[in-house]
Amino acid sequence: MLQAGPLKQRIFGLENEYGLIFSPKGGVYLPMERVLGCIFEGLIPNSWPSNAFLANGARFYQDTGCHPEYSTPECDNILDLVIHDKAGERLLEACLPAAEERLRADGLSGEIYIFKNNTDSLGNTYGCHENFLMRRDVDFWKVTEQLIPFFVTRQIYSGAGKVLKVSGKTQYCISQRAQHIHERTSSSTTSSRSIINTRDEPHADAERYRRLHIIVGDSNMSEFATYLKVGTASLILSMIEEGYAVEGMELEDSVKAIREISRDPSLKKKVRLDDGRQLTAVEVQRVYLDRAQEYLAQQAHDPILDDVWKRWALVLDKLDEDPMQLVREIDWVTKRHLIQSYVDKKACDWDDPRVFLLDLQYHDVKRTRGLYYLMESRGMIERVVAEESVQRAMSTPPQTTRAKVRGDFIRFARAKNRSYTVDWTYLKLNGYWEETILCMDPFSAVNRRVDELVSQVSGLRLER
């Protein structure tokens, strides 16, 4: 497993919306709000239907379309982000037995399924949003112009894979989100989904920072894919912020290109640039890879960024040679291999209903049932972080960011059975010290006012 090293200061976060299905015994219809309520009760006792923050600093809530959504706590290194992203899966998985028991107690027997994916059988989509704190003094629009070709082509190692019917023909696509992207940039996350969302809520000092909000990516089961997805984006963002521009890579039609790339698992499709050149997704990525190498050569050694670059280079080489070499690392490749093996074994076609079921089951977060986890249990998946770290992150926030202050405060309030109000940037113990405690610095794991409150209420300071 990798060991976290110091990174250039940046805050990362992932928001994952999960698919939810209740399969009743006896065919009884049950509103998803009721099912989701039972899941909430397992995570946040007595707080349904409001959203809430957890003791590990994360936020759990209901999003549009009755999807449970888990937002990681603020992380200042990529490995912590991978760990806390996985912790969200484990927390939801842990709620399933008690949620099903609550329904049985009401005479509603059945199984609850939670899927970490991005589309349902009706063609609806729900997101995986990436958040990067970035400098306010850098021209946002110049940054986005340089980032869009990168995000359009990044799917070749971050896509989750999808069996999709296009014009009546079943085909395998690299990305689940690609077909639902309609704009280059937009402020909307539903009606006109874009590659880069322009929402600017830094949850920090707005004079110094803004938020880069990326909604084009897929939810990943693979830790390797999450690590590379976020790591490469962070590396490219740092590079551009510091003046290492990537020029001349603008695509003629970014929306068209992202769909064309997704529908070609051979990775041979060329997309047209503004200047008339035509390049494959791998070739576009190599331009960014080479520029990143120039950038890193001028920086102090950083073990994580260096590792991201090395893995990125290796992945591009293998994608160029034969994508199936990455069956242990990349979700869309792993799933394609799994389904192809099944099709070969059963001598069926790709439009067989069982194929669509396999596609969905790959994303089941229940480790005794999900196909990704069954493969992992057999040593067929490469992990990036230790399971012990994931288990710890279910209740413990990152120790180097504002999330630690939030988590400590929540644990304290619950231990004292006190009502409290929490958001990303403030904390409040209701009915006592009505003053709102602001926590505007996401890099600070210590807050003097919270320490004072804890000391006055309990006479004890939280251990640091």
The residues assigned a catalytic role are 63
Is the omega angle on the peptide bond into residue 49 within 30 degrees of 0, that is, cis? yes
CA–CA–CA angle 324, 330, 334 (5° rounding): 60
Dihedral, 269, 272, 278, 283 alpha carbons, nearest 10: -70
Fill in the amino acid letter for 189.
T
Concatenating the DSSP letter of every residue in 153-203 gives HHHHHH---EEEEETTEEEEES-SSGGG--EEEES-SSTT-EEEE-----S
CA–CA–CA angle 345, 358, 97 (5° rounding): 130
Lookup: tokens for 331: 């979700």
Rounded Cα distance, 439 and 335, in Å = 42
How many CB atoms neighbour CB 321 within 10 A? 9
Q: Which of 253, 247, 245 is nearest to 278 (CA)?
A: 253
Q: How long a stretch of residues is the chain?
A: 464
Rounded Cα distance, 424 and 55, in Å = 13
Q: Calculate Rg over the CA atoms of the chain.
A: 22
DSSP assigned state of 300? -
Number of H helices, E strands in the chain: 13, 17
CA–CA–CA angle 37, 12, 87 (5° rounding): 40
Q: Which residues contact 123 (CB under 8 A, 6 or more apart)?
A: none
DSSP assigned state of 273? B
Exposed, middle or buried by CB within 10 Å (0-12, 13-18, 19+), for 25? exposed
Residue whose entry in the numeric block shows the structure tokens 């084009």: 216
**Among positive and negative, which fits the CA dihedral 27, 32, 33, 34?**
positive
Q: Is 402 strand, coil or helix?
A: helix
**Cβ proximity of 126 and 199 under 8 Å:** no
Rounded Cα distance, 92 and 94, in Å = 5
Rounded Cα distance, 106 and 30, in Å = 12
